[in-house]
Structure 1
């Protein structure tokens, strides 16, 4: 499933452009800019499944690094610092990965 079938392509591009510089990524602003924050829980789960590249039911740290590429092929990789901050913000149970419920809660924050 393509992210553009869930979210507006122009919104995705604007959000990626806004965080094009290394160490500028802010998940709260990003989710708001791409329009994910205002989407239904079902749509948020669809986005989760796209980002869960290995279909494990979790977004692990290695997948988080490439999260922007999940929104568009030309998205940049997150830095290690951004990846760790993103994981820390979402991983409420401390298991080192993000489940669908944790992702949904993070998006709606």
Structure 2
């Protein structure tokens, strides 16, 4: 299977729709240490649950972190996550 950006987004969208009522619920679930931020390991967990191949999970998690992290602090806040979800086209 070829993992394109679109395929990964479809898998993430399916996960969001099936498991969470709202994006805020997903954010809280994947924020394992409950500090209000997502880091690379949190994105890897999200990707694992979205059934993204283990071979590319680390690379995609790194890409997501860098893409979602608007202020460049190495972590993603709820506001950054919400903005990235809107921009990605993932539906609630």
Q: TM-score, normalised by structure 2?
A: 0.66
Higher helix share: 2
1:57 CA drift (Å): 0.6
**1:14-39 deviations in Å (ceiling 9; x for gaps):** xxxxxxx5x82635444444465xx9
RMSD: 2.9
**1:52-82 deviations in Å (ceiling 9; x for gaps):** 111111011122122134x47x765453221
1:45 correspondence with 2:24: yes
Distance 1:108 1:28, change over 3 A: farther
Give the gaps of 5 or more residues in structure 1.
Answer: 1-20
Higher relative contact order (CA 8 A, sep 6+): 2
Give the gaps of 5 or more residues in structure 2.
Answer: 88-92
Q: Number of residue pairs matched? A: 82
